[in-house]
Amino acid sequence: MSGGLPPRRPDQHELATPRGVTPGARITRLGGTPGSAPASANGAQLPTVFFTFNAKARIFTAGLSFTVGSNATYAASVTPIYAHVITASGLLLCVVRLSVSGPTQIANGGDRFQGPDAGVPVAKGDQLLLDINNNVSLGTGGLMSAECAVFYSIP
C-alpha cells in the first residue's frame, strides 16, 4: 500500500477524529487537564527543581536543548559535559552530552522524550529537575545554556 494512510487500529474504528497527530489529542481523549513546565538556565547547576506536581499526573513528552561554547580565552583540554531532565523519583526524561576541546568552539544538541499513549504516571509531589553538568563549570572562557519543556496532564 502506498500513498495512503494505514488502516485504523481496532481501538480507532469508532473515533470521529482524523488519524493524524493532533497536539494535545491524547490528553483530551484521556480526559486530563493539559499543562506544561518550562525551564531555562545559563551556566552549570546542580539538579534544580523547576516544577512540582500538585496532584498525580501523566507525562507525555519532554524536550531538552543544550548549547556550549568557548571563547578565545578558553584553555582547558577536551571537556565532556551534559544536561538532563529528570524526575525526583528517578525517571530520566532527556539527556544531551556534548564536549569542547579548545578555544572558539560551539556545540549544541537536543533530546526528546515521547511517552506512551497513556502517558507515564507520576505521583503527587514528584518534581521535575534540570541538571547542567552537576554544577561543574567549563572554567574561564566557557559557557553553557539549557532549555527544556515537559508536557503533562492532571490526572
Sequence-separated (6 or more) residues with CB below 8 Å from residue 142:
68, 69, 70, 71, 74, 76, 79, 100
- What pLDDT digit, counting tens, does each position of 79-138 carry? 889 999 999 999 999 999 999 888 999 999 999 999 998 899 999 999 999 999 999 998
**pTM of the model as a whole:** 0.81
- Map out the domains of the chain as residue ranges: 44-154
**Nearest to 103, CA basis, from 130, 147, 139:** 139
Q: How many beta carbons lie within 10 A of that of residue 41, not counting itself? A: 17
Fold of 44-154: Jelly Rolls (2.60.120)
Q: How far apart are CA 126 and CA 18, in angstroms?
A: 34
